[in-house]
Amino acid sequence: MTSNLHLRGIDSTLMGQLKKQAMEQQISVNSFILQLLKQSLGLTTQRKLAVYHDLDQLAGTWTKQEAKSFLKNTAEFELIDKVLHRRFL
């Protein structure tokens, strides 16, 4: 059996965060709140993987030339060191 609940007193800051988090997970605000309640009450065993956004501002900031230069300068790291390779075979 399911029930409905009306929640009062949600300020704009809280609502903004609820909407933002729900949008990031591509779910409705209602589904997100249900998920939060179940997790906080220990009613779910599903573990959520941590998603970090601390480097987001760096993503996509290289020019094509910078990316090409980086790949050129790090290409040797893709090569197998023949001496080490023989040692571990």
Q: Where are the domains of the chain?
A: 12-87
- Regarding pTM above 0.75, the answer is no
Residue 86: predicted pLDDT: 72
pLDDT, tens digit, for every residue of 42-71? Answer: 898 766 678 888 888 888 888 999 999 999
User: Is the CA virtual torsion 29, 40, 13, 24 positive or negative?
Assistant: negative
| Closest to 2 (Cα-Cα) out of 37, 26, 29 | 37
